[in-house]
Amino acid sequence: MRQLNMSDAGRRRRIPVLIFLIAAILLAFVGLTLARYVMQKEESGVIETKPFYFTSDLLKDKSENKEYYIDPETKSFDINILNAVDSKRITKDKIICTITVEGGLASVHSGNEVTSDLEQRIEVVLEGNGEQASQRVTITPNPDADAVTVKAASSTPYQKTLSETFKPAPGNQYRVKDSVGSRAAVLTIIYVKTDSTDITLALPENVIPDETTSWVKKSAEASQSYTLHIPESGVYSLVLLKKDINQNLVKEETSFDTQISLTGVPPES
């Protein structure tokens, strides 16, 4: 009887220890499961970040480093701000962005109507609502601006900046390559307009153009006057033959409309 009582007492002492071990194992398992759950939630949060598309037809990310030239006679030009790349890649949330212009002013359009005053800084909202949306913005360059820089910076739902610099393209220009001792100079004409035109060329004494050039005709008005028929935009070269090799007709790039005069170039002594 005494041995049986001791065995029962031993079993009773082992039961709490066993319960403690089971509880410890359960807590460890629950903790591991909870940690895994939190990790999965954090990872799913990264995966579920909403796509953001903020684009433009002319404005680009600075990494693309593009440059545009505009007609110097243009009064204004349009850019479009969009919430999509294509029909499948669309920002579904509303995008709010700010357009800033250096060297000009901006205005927002709705249909064919101007809906805002000309400002250096305007706000553009693309509602989206799960569909493609765009906003046309008209840029009006300052008459004396050497360049126009346009920036579009979104603030909602994410921050992104698109920008571009637009430079007035040079108009018609000419230059002359020459040196003392050379028998001939070369007149290079850069004609940017699309329509054909006639340019009047005035040359100094003892200088004549290469008569084999088909688009050059002697003018009847003056002995040293010639008509250059330019059929379209492009770069044209004309050889000028000199009787006096001490004469230097060199000329840096110079703008012109319909007349080129080299008569003001004095002979070099």
Largest CA distance in the chain: 149
**What is the DSSP secondary structure assignment for residue 64, as one 8-state letter?**
G
pTM of the shown model: 0.53
With tokens 């040293």, the residue in question is 224
Measured in whole angstroms, how far is the alpha carbon of residue 73 from the centre of its chain? 20
pLDDT in tens, 139-188: 999 988 989 999 999 999 999 999 999 988 778 899 999 999 999 999 99
- What confidence score (pLDDT) does residue 203 get? 94
Task: For the chain, give the mean pLDDT.
Answer: 82
CA distance 107 to 119: 7
pLDDT value for 193: 78
Residue 18 parent element (H or E): helix 2-47
What separation in angstroms does the CA of 179 have from each of 186, 236, 242, 246, 254? 10, 20, 11, 8, 18
Nearest-10 Cα torsion for 133, 148, 197, 184: -140
Task: Kindly give the pairing relationship between strand 259-261 and strand 197-202.
Answer: parallel
